[in-house]
Structure 1
Amino acid sequence: MWHGDRNGHGEGGGRGSAQGWCALALLHGKIEAHLERELQGAHGLSVREYSLLDVLSRQNSGEGGHLRMGEVAEAVVLSQSATTRLVTRLEDRGLLSRYLCATDRRGIYTDVTRAGLELLERARPTNDAALSEALDAAEGRPELASLVAVVRAL
């Protein structure tokens, strides 16, 4: 049986969950904004572009090693149409290339070009340093400290 209070919150539930969600959203926003500034300023990459290059760089040519666009969209947390537009932008910059799947002509795969891999390797230390800086700054806020500890433990 559910025992809610007058505000519709269950025992130990609603309010704490809402505060936790707000803290998580705040932490995400602060990290993403810091990463965006650093990656854009140093490498001309958005966080989404960096994430896409990173995800695609981890593919391999073995069985099941390449991701379909739907899988890529899920990995970078974008809709499939937004992912397709992002791929097109990076392809126009010479950082990605697309090709048809050899076994399923309807499937289109995307690979990171040499230029894309080189940019990703230059951007990786910037991303890592910016992430560390953002986490350090957030750790000083009591409402975010426990979330930062969880992120670091992952």
Structure 2
Amino acid sequence: MNEPRWLDELEMAAWQGFLEAGNRVARRLEQQLKDEAGLSHPQYEILVHLADAPGGEIRMTELAERLITSKSGLTYQVGQLERRGLVRRRACPTDVRGVFAVLTEEGRELLRGAAPGHVAAVREVLIDVLDREELAVLARALGEVGRRLRD
């Protein structure tokens, strides 16, 4: 059995910094969305993806992949949005198992109202804390992590 490669001081600082920052940013954004729009962060992301999609609709399996979530987790969140009239579901005409999530006009309006406050919170807790060089390094580094995990 190989001996584990323990993290050195710099590696541990990077790991712990990533964990703390990620958790604190996520908590702050979750609270902001809840307070200002009555949405969870996953629900907000669902609305964003639907708003960006042609016709405001995406097949549920594709939406789960885009959001990096389970189908059951997505089904729950879409169900919550559907109860509020923000999203509806429709059957896929070419596949009996396929279901589309469709953004309603109410959902589009809620998103329009929620987006400015959310972007301001993202700026406050992350973007404006870093200078342009730090943002470039962060974007490259996290982009690389994401690419490797996708493959």
TM-score computed with the length of structure 1 as normaliser: 0.75
Deviations 1:50-76 (A, max 9, x none): 111111211114xxx953322212222
1:68 aligns with 2:59: yes
Larger-gyration structure (1/2):
1
In structure 2, the CA distance between the partners of 1:148 and 1:122, relative to structure 1 (3 Å rule), is farther
Partner of 1:43: 37
TM-align CA RMSD: 3.1
Which of 44, 48, 57 is 2:51 aligned to? 57
Q: 1:41 to 1:148 in 2, by over 3 A?
A: farther
Q: Does 1:107 pair with 2:79?
A: no
Distance 1:26 1:147, change over 3 A: farther
Indicate yes or no: 2:78 matched with 1:84.
no
5+ residue gaps, structure 2, are 144-151
Aligned partners of 2:58 and 2:102 also within 8 Å: no
> What is aligned with 1:26?
20
| Aligned equivalents of 2:22, 2:135: Cα separation in 1 | 10
CA contact (8 A) 2:57 2:103 kept: no
Q: Deviations over 1:1-50 (max 9, x none)?
A: xxx9xx7328xxx4354543332222221211111121111111111111
Letter in 2 for 1:150: L
Higher mean displacement: 77-86 or 65-74: 65-74
Counterpart contact for 2:88–2:104, Cα < 8 Å: yes
Write the distance in 1 (CA, Å) between the matches of 2:63 and 2:31: 24
Q: Deviations over 1:90-123 (max 9, x none)?
A: 0011000000112222210011100000000111
Tell me, which stretches of 5 or more residues in structure 1 are unaligned?
Answer: none
Identity among equivalent pairs (%): 32
Report SS of the residue matched to 1:111: strand
Equivalent pair of 2:127/2:135 in contact (CA under 8 Å): no
Q: Distance in 2 between matches of 1:109 and 1:30?
A: 33
Question: Alignment length, in residue pairs?
Answer: 139
